[in-house]
Chains A and B, each alone.
Chain A
Amino acid sequence: MADELKDMVLAYVTKEYLEDDSEPLTYDTPLISGGIVDSFSMVSLKRFLENKYAISIPDDEATPEAFDSVNKIAALVERFVAKK
């Protein structure tokens, strides 16, 4: 699940938030602190994850720190999927 989840998130962020000739992302590329996904765009990313994995991430857990890399996002999603 873990790699599949990371790849899914990586592909989505690449498709939705990067321009065509941007540097490719890695699982650890800083997304929020690196300015790739701003706090407003984070809302649509959170919505994607909630829809895709049928989870609900509380606002106080959807922090810039928790969304700052594909690895961190995957960890967050796995935690909520496990609670289902």
Chain B
Amino acid sequence: MSNIGSYDERVKNFSWSIAEKELGYKPGDVINIGWYCTDRICQQGKGGKVALYWEGFTGAEKIYTYNDIRLASNTIASFLHGLGITPGERVCLFMDRIPELYLGFVGILKTGAIAQPLFSAFGDESLLVRLSNAETTAVITQKKHAPKVRKILDKMPHLKHIIIVDHDGTAPLKDREIAFSLEKAAPVEHFDVYPTKAESPSVLHYTSGTTGMPKGVEHVHYALISQYLTAKWVLDIRDDDIYWCTADPGWVTGTSYGIIAPFSLGVTQCVLDAGFSAEAWYKWIEKRKVTMWYSAPTAIRSLMKAGDEIVKKFDLSSLRHLASVGEPLNSEAVVWSQKVFGKPFYDTYWQTETGSIVISNYPGMEVRAGSMGKPFPGITGTVLDPIKNEPYTTHGKIGLVALKFDWPSRMRTYWNNEEAFRKKFRNDWYITGDRSKLDADGYFWFAGRDDDIINTAGHLVSPFEVESALLEHPAVAESAVVSKPDPLNLEVVKAFVALKPGFTASQDLDLEIMNFIRKKLSPLAMPQEIEFVPSLPKTRSGKIMRRLLHAKEWGEEIGDTSTLEND
């Protein structure tokens, strides 16, 4: 019997107080996510239970009990406190998926500071945009990533501390750098966890939009209520599970369901810090006897591409429940996983701004392959007519995915950007930016984005951000960036580039521009195809008609070209 039991019964009888009671929280109490993830579990007598099995690509292993992560997070919190980090300050985590990333996240929350995880593959410009917007005070990083921080230091007067967790003395520390070794530091048995309340800010994740620079999504400690209960009911996490969330904590899935939810549930989770290979992943599931596996469509499609034969080499019988996140899960993947693993991947739908799963498929409920599922109990979702800004009264029509903005883990605002936050609402409905339709039974069916944002391998990339970066290349006069369909990643970035006089299109220039963007922004933002054009399609008022280029890439109707500058 699944944790959720009957979805319909849960919907009828729902209250978020269910989660509050299980966590022993009463409105008005102190609530600190870091405490709930460690100290509370130890107080329940589970200090000796394994919290984290970690393995790196060299095969190095580390095992942490709940008491270990309590001590480690205390130690990091104490170190930060000693540096003068105060509640509300932003502390960035810029690391690979090493234990210090997970433990540091919890430690930062214990101080009352705001954790700001950033994907370790970000280039220096991506880093600068996010750190300067947040006026980040400290960055916890590794020596291999420190050079990217150093490159932008002169533009970050607010940054006081660069904390290197693996400094080995082979090169001297530089300006504002300080070494901290979790292994060498004396464990701190008791740390006075800062008494944060429900609305105290906890986490700042940056997300890309169509226009403008990435925005900081501000979350609060009360988000724990949603993250805990959705993990229990959607991911069906049980006390004796071995849980594997493949997401990097640089992204919201990796914090909400890679740190907060599993640790607050007191479950054992495992983390593999290695590049993708089907063999390595199946070997990991077999070795750790993973029971609950939360992954992403791009990874699932990569596993499909690796074939069915390799699956037979491993004993994956431990797998009990599988779920997916980041982009719509195509029905072929659902059917394939049923065939090779004996169970389907359950698609879950949510985003950085929602903080936790909002629409999903549930254990025990019919999975309609290709469907997003139904709203989580307690969440009111609909499809809005984009003209009238009201819910459709009949099913089957494509419109805007909209939610009543009242669940615990909803973002509270965009950092220093209330205006952008207010634009997310129509008639008091929160608009996710996705389009969908509802069938007669209340299942949502994804129908694309409502804007130009590119979703590549489950990560959002802003065309504006890539275009702005392209303009910084000496050869580029103007550019337009659109998504291009891709069988593995759903979409990838494609750039149309018009060159300045004196520059000639060539394979070498193509590669040079690709690498330029990859290093400046990230590998995700790197155009996987560049098409050199003499000019870009524009309206008579000079606005680039990106939608024409998009339509060509996707084989869609081009639509009205009456405003096109040159017919």
Residues of A within 8 A of B (CB): 16, 19-22, 30, 32-35, 37-41, 43-44, 47-48, 51, 60, 64-65, 68
Q: Is B511 a contact of A34 with CB atoms below 8 Å?
A: no
Counting residue pairs across A and B whose Cβ atoms lie within 8 Å, the total is 72
B523 interface residue per 8 A CB criterion: yes
Complex: chain A residue closest to B456, CB-CB: A40
Interface residues of B, count at CB 8 A: 33
B2 interface residue per 8 A CB criterion: no
Contact of A64 among B96, B171, B277 (CB under 8 A): B277
Contact of A22 among B57, B144, B456, B518 (CB under 8 A): B144
B273 interface residue per 8 A CB criterion: yes
Which B230-256 residues sit within 8 Å CB-CB of chain A? none
Q: Is B147 a contact of A21 with CB atoms below 8 Å?
A: yes
B43 interface residue per 8 A CB criterion: no
Contact with A along B15-54 (1 / 0, CB 8 A): 0000000000000000000000000000000000000000
Q: Is A40 a contact of B275 with CB atoms below 8 Å?
A: no
Bound Cα distance A32, B278 (Å)? 12
B503 interface residue per 8 A CB criterion: no
Contact of B276 among A19, A32, A41, A43 (CB under 8 A): A32
Q: Is B526 a contact of A44 with CB atoms below 8 Å?
A: yes
Q: Is B511 a contact of A48 with CB atoms below 8 Å?
A: yes
B528 interface residue per 8 A CB criterion: yes
B154 interface residue per 8 A CB criterion: no
Bound Cα distance A7, B457 (Å)? 32
Contact of A33 among B275, B305, B510 (CB under 8 A): B275
Q: Would you give the shortest CB distance from B493 to chain A, in whole angstroms?
A: 9
Bound Cα distance A17, B57 (Å)? 17
Complex: chain B residue closest to A16, CB-CB: B515
Contact of B275 among A19, A21, A35, A60 (CB under 8 A): A35
Bound Cα distance A48, B514 (Å)? 11
Q: Would you give the shortest CB distance from B181 to chain A, in whole angstroms?
A: 18
Q: Is A38 a contact of B275 with CB atoms below 8 Å?
A: yes
Decide yes or no: A44 and B518 within 8 Å by CB, A21-B171, A38-B121 being known contacts.
yes
Q: Apart from A21-B143, A41-B526, A43-B514, what are 15 other A-B pairs with CB-CB below 8 Å?
A: A16-B515, A20-B147, A21-B144, A21-B147, A30-B275, A33-B57, A35-B57, A35-B274, A38-B121, A38-B275, A39-B302, A40-B518, A40-B524, A44-B511, A65-B277
Q: Is B508 a contact of A19 with CB atoms below 8 Å?
A: no
Q: Is A34 a contact of B57 with CB atoms below 8 Å?
A: yes
List chain A residues, Cβ under 8 A from B508: 51
